[in-house]
Amino acid sequence: MELMGKSALVTGGAHRVGRAVALALARHGCDLMLHYFHSGEAAADTAAEARASGRRVATCAADLGRMEGVQSLFAEVDRTFGGLDVLVNSAAVFEPVPLLEASEDDWRRTMDLNLRGAAFCLQQAAQRMKARGGGAIVNISDAAGHRPFRRYPLHSISKAGVEMLTRAAALELAPSIRVNAVVPGPVLKPPGMSEESWHQITTRGPQRRPGTPEAVAEVVLFLLRNDYITGESLRVDGGDLLV
């Protein structure tokens, strides 16, 4: 896919990996819908930086854990761009909840955003892409979807679901719409994690250092551009899964 002039939506695009992806898309010629929920100030800052690339950039606040939020976001996409060519599903919650103590609300909060929200955003995007003759979707997965994180079991389960969502959607939506995933490893320290723990995690892998959100964004661009890759999950983890 040639990205210049395409309309793109990045969910969770205000900060962290989503921000890096949004800025990369703008630099490579995409008009951008930047989704956020609570991070309004960060979204405004990211949008301002993206506009410096000379592209149209709009922001939209929505709770993607609810179907009403998904619908309102895509209604704004329609009003702004009249359709969609690219979706990057980056919005997610990452909470340490012990499996045996997890409440119904804990399950609902994680699954509704990380998996159900991603699935309904994919559904809405695909409907619009079909009307345009095709498109491309990249889901931001997580190493936890391949190897469970002890303190984050619900997050791990939700991201394993995103992995299957990617493959199932790629099969159903081919050939006009491609669906892939990027699997970041240790590229940003989780909120609340100690520096000591982060150092241990980022130095255990073959590369002996953390990655960057920009490295993840580069792989997103690669998957969007390459028209013969679909149903794939590419790890950007410095080989962390090997250990």
The CATH number of residue 33's host domain is 3.40.50.720
Taking only the tens place, the pLDDT of each residue in 143-164 is 999 999 999 999 999 999 999 9
pLDDT tens for residues 97-130?
999 999 999 999 999 999 999 999 999 999 999 9
Tell me which residue of 66, 154, 78, 83 sits closest to 117, measured CA to CA. Answer: 66
Task: Give Cα 28 to chain centroid, integer Å.
Answer: 18
pLDDT of residue 116: 98
Strand order in the sheet with 7-11: 57-61, 31-36, 7-11, 86-89, 135-140, 177-184, 233-236
Question: What pLDDT is stored for residue 95 in this prediction?
Answer: 93
User: In this prediction, what percent of the chain has a pLDDT beyond 90?
Assistant: 92
Q: How far apart are CA 27 and CA 225, in angstroms?
A: 14
Residue 64 has pLDDT above 90, yes or no: yes
Question: What number of H helices and E strands is found in the chain?
Answer: 8, 7
Residue 163 lies in a domain: yes
Assigned domain for 35 exists = yes
For residue 45, give its domain range. 7-236
What is the pairing mode between strands 31-36 and 135-140?
unpaired
Look at residue 31 and tell me if it is in a domain.
Answer: yes
Identify which of 179, 183, 177, 176 has the alpha carbon closest to the alpha carbon of residue 166.
Answer: 179
Any domain includes 88: yes
1, part of any domain: no
Q: What's the burial of 172, exposed, middle or buried (CB within 10 Å: 0-12/13-18/19+)?
A: exposed
Inter-CA distances, 238 with 18, 74, 198, 234, Å:
19, 35, 15, 12
Flag whether 241 is in a domain. no
The chain-wide mean pLDDT, for the chain, equals 96
Residue 221 included in any domain: yes
Q: In this predicted structure, what is the pLDDT of residue 115? A: 98
Q: Render pLDDT for 1-16 as a digit per residue (tens, 0 to 9).
A: 999 999 999 999 999 9
Q: For residue 243, is it within any domain?
A: no
Confidence of residue 190 (pLDDT cuts 50, 70, 90): confident
Tell me the per-residue pLDDT of 16-34, one tens digit each, with 9 for 90 and over. Answer: 999 999 999 999 999 999 9
Number of structural domains found in the chain: 1
Looking at residue 11, its amino acid is T
Whether residue 242 has pLDDT greater than 90: no
| pLDDT recorded at residue 89 | 98
Active site residues: 152, 159
Give the residue ranges of DSSP H helices in the chain: 16-27, 40-51, 67-81, 104-111, 118-132, 153-173, 195-203, 213-225
